[in-house]
Chains A and B, each alone.
Chain A
Amino acid sequence: MKEGVRIAVVGAGVVGLSTAVCVAEALPLCSVTLLADRFSPDTTSDGAAGILYAAKFPDIPMQRQKRWFKDSFDHLLAIAQSQHAPEAGVIMSSGCQILREITEEKEPFWADSVIGFRFMTDKELQRFPDHKCGQVFTTIKCECSSYLPWLKNRFVQLGGQVVQRKINSLQELSGDSYDIIVNCAGLGSKTLVDDGQVYPVRGQVLKVEAPWLKHFVRDGDGKTYIYPGVHSVTIGGTRQEHDWRLQVDKGDTSSILERCSRLEPSLVHAKVLGEWVGLRPSRRNPRVEKELLRMQGRTVPVVHNYGHGGWGVTLAWGTALDALGLVRQCLHEMPLRAKL
């Protein structure tokens, strides 16, 4: 019996909340506490357009990456098809990715997980004279400004506890007698668990009013994109590695407007509603693994789930399921006395 086991989840971005909900749903006899310094609408996840799209990580087995994407996609698809879609901010979104050069690669690894994947016809490409080929598909858009509060609600309904607290080191949790700690602190893991591999990739976006835009358009370089959302269109962006600036850069704003208007001329008539900057919690590969931490004479298992870069929304649920699996392993490995 795992009664009375106390689990702490650190971080309330999309990965933290997804993991907390995952754990709370699967382990109803455990008590789960979510601790975070920032909550929606102040997390990195909140500004992200939230389009499900994945890039390849170099060192994670392809099967695992495919599973992460598929699990996340299927989970969100079910929400998009349900009555909860508007409240959760999860919608279906069709569009295209356009490339300036013809690539070698046949199909991306997630082609089967998205819906209706195919290559663009020449007639469709006529709209984009600077681009040579493209892919058309239907994917999900998950707007964290709605999704995070919706997840938090689910978490609390499941009996989860939410604590607002800034933690600078996991050692600070020594006194709280948590049996398992799940670290979803994103970029914060750099200091929280001393991971030198974590670094920011700065992204700036604009939110504009262009309700006539119904398709997403993404340039294959990942720097120029137009993502129509429920109430506004997110256009972007930038990918500035090791750039910690959270302030809006007016030069980036002009660049974004110029590049996006070239892809979508009607944007010239779009009213700019706001600008936002986020730091993608990047890492060579996301860290989804467990380790044992020595805390004040005890050994506490820690499950890490961070370093998703610009693919947090895309991989949150899939990696949360993996993290849950690791939590189960921790429970299995726990000495009997911890359960009293």
Chain B
Amino acid sequence: MRVAVIGAGVIGLSTAQSIYEQYHSVVTPLTIEVYADRFTPLTTSDGAAGLWQPYLYDDGKVQETQWNKETFDYLLSFLSSPESVKMGIFLQSGYNLLTECAPEPSFKDAVLGFRELTQRELQLFPGYNYGWFNTALMVEGKTYLPWMMEWLKNRGVKFYQRKIQSFKELAESGVDVIVNCTGMRSGDLQPDPELKPGRGQIVKVDAPWIKHWILTHDLRKGFYNSPYIIPGSRHVTVGGCFQLGNWNEHGTSVDHKDIWESACELEPSLKNARIIEDWCGLRPCRSKVRLERETIKTGATSIKVIHNYGHGGFGLTIHRGCAQEAARLFGQLVEQKGKGPKARL
């Protein structure tokens, strides 16, 4: 079988990985190809700070909460091995700050040591009256993506740098299954009015004395529109911008000023930090993740597509859970085609 994954961000690469892991010995031969116009370090996943944390509330999307947890446990399992450094995975603790009491977040059982903030801790953050402390994981795209590409290349997966214009193009070349992990640009392949950009801008700074992530939440302003400070292995990501519907991929000085000023108010020591650069990315936002099979009929041919896009600001957080599910969907296609183990009897 020939499988073409479109998209080489965290979703595309991890889906290719899950499909390989689960089916390379079941379907022979299994040819996996990854097509993308942007590869690491130029994908959306590369610019994200890399903190594993879903949105505070899942609004009933329990499946997504489950996928998030699956991803956390998967990443956590690597910590007992030195390989974790090569993958860009490490533990980091921090604070979620709010101005008022709020229900416990969706991820409280997935993370480590989740608890409410003490009065003394709240005193460290004037203006915030409530919050939580927990230990979470970091998974840095700039390290994780190259690690996954290496992993895939070592197993014969081929990469092609090219923008795919249509599913038909790939089907006509003989691809059996297309896995659509095109994130923000899924609309180019198939219009999806539910998919919208959630523009984010960040400032990368050198502030190695900061060892905790700090996320503030203004429940009225919506997620990520409140300052956040997330230290990484090489620099600190400072942000707090989420503009739904804004397609501008370039940073603006207005946003920079807003982000920087509110972050310095939150963490005064930042005033001493050397600014490295700004970065801007478009979160592929959707009412819920699109993770499903579709059979597209064009004339006589029918194209099998597995969609896996629309992960908003939680792509790194949810990737493994979704990749494993996508692989399960792939398994259904394999059985249908009679290529599964049953077919060999």
User: A: which residues have CB within 8 A of B?
Assistant: 81-83, 85-87, 89, 91-94, 115-116, 118, 120-121, 123-124, 127, 136, 138, 211-215, 228, 230-231, 265-269
Contacts and interface: CB of A to CB of B under 8 A. Distances in A.
Contact of B272 (A83, A116, A118): A83
A91 B211 contact: yes
A94 B85 contact: no
Given A92-B211, A116-B115, A266-B82, A83 B269 contact: yes
B272 A81 contact: no
Residue of A81, A121, A138, A212 contacting most chain B CB atoms (<10 Å): A212
B120 A91 contact: no
A124 B113 contact: yes
A81 B124 contact: yes
Given A81-B124, A86-B209, A124-B113, A211 B80 contact: no
A177 B271 CA distance: 46
Interface stretch (B88-96, B159-167, B297-305): B88-96
A157 to B, nearest CB: 19
Chain A binding surface SS class: mixed
B268 A83 contact: yes
A124 B112 CA distance: 6
A115 B124 CA distance: 11
Contact of A214 (B79, B93, B207, B271): B93
B124 A266 contact: no
Contact of B93 (A94, A213, A268): A94
Counting chain B residues whose Cβ lies within 8 A of the other chain, the interface size class is: 35 or more
Contacts of A87: 272
A259 B124 CA distance: 35
Interface centre among B117, B207, B212 (most CB of A within 10 A): B212
Contacts of A269: 82, 85-86
Given A121-B113, A211-B233, A265-B82, 16 more contacts: A82-B269, A89-B209, A91-B210, A92-B211, A94-B93, A115-B118, A116-B115, A116-B133, A118-B113, A118-B115, A212-B85, A228-B211, A265-B79, A265-B80, A266-B82, A269-B86
B262 interface: no
B31 interface: no
A266 B90 contact: yes
Contacts of A91: 209-211
Interface in B103-136: 112-113, 115, 117-118, 120-121, 124, 133, 135
A265 B77 CA distance: 12
Contacts of A121: 112-113
Interface of B: 79-82, 84-86, 90-93, 112-113, 115, 117-118, 120-121, 124, 133, 135, 138, 207-212, 231, 233-234, 268-269, 271-272
Given A124-B135, A211-B234, A93 B82 contact: no
B84 A266 contact: yes
Q: Is the interface of B mostly helix, strand, loop or mixed?
A: mixed
Nearest to A87: B272
27 contacts: A81-B268, A85-B269, A86-B207, A86-B209, A86-B269, A89-B209, A91-B209, A92-B212, A94-B93, A115-B120, A115-B121, A116-B117, A118-B115, A121-B113, A124-B113, A124-B135, A211-B233, A214-B91, A214-B93, A214-B211, A215-B91, A215-B93, A215-B135, A230-B208, A230-B209, A266-B85, A266-B90
Contacts of A138: 121
Given A121-B112, A266-B85, A127 B80 contact: yes
A212 B233 contact: yes
Contacts of A136: 113
A282 B117 CA distance: 37
A266 B207 CA distance: 22
A123 B90 contact: no
Contacts of B269: 82-83, 85-86
Q: Which of B113, B212, B231, B272 has the most CB of A within 10 A?
A: B113
A93 B112 contact: no
Contact of B208 (A120, A211, A268): A211
Nearest to A120: B113
B211 A116 contact: no
Contact of B81 (A124, A230, A265): A265
B80 A86 contact: no
Contacts of B268: 81-83
B90 to A, nearest CB: 4
A212 B210 CA distance: 12
Contacts of A123: 112
Identify which of A87, A120, A138, A230 gathers the most chain B CB atoms within 10 Å of its CB. A138
Nearest to A121: B113
A190 B192 CA distance: 79
Contacts of B92: 214-215
Contacts of A81: 124, 268
Contacts of B120: 115-116
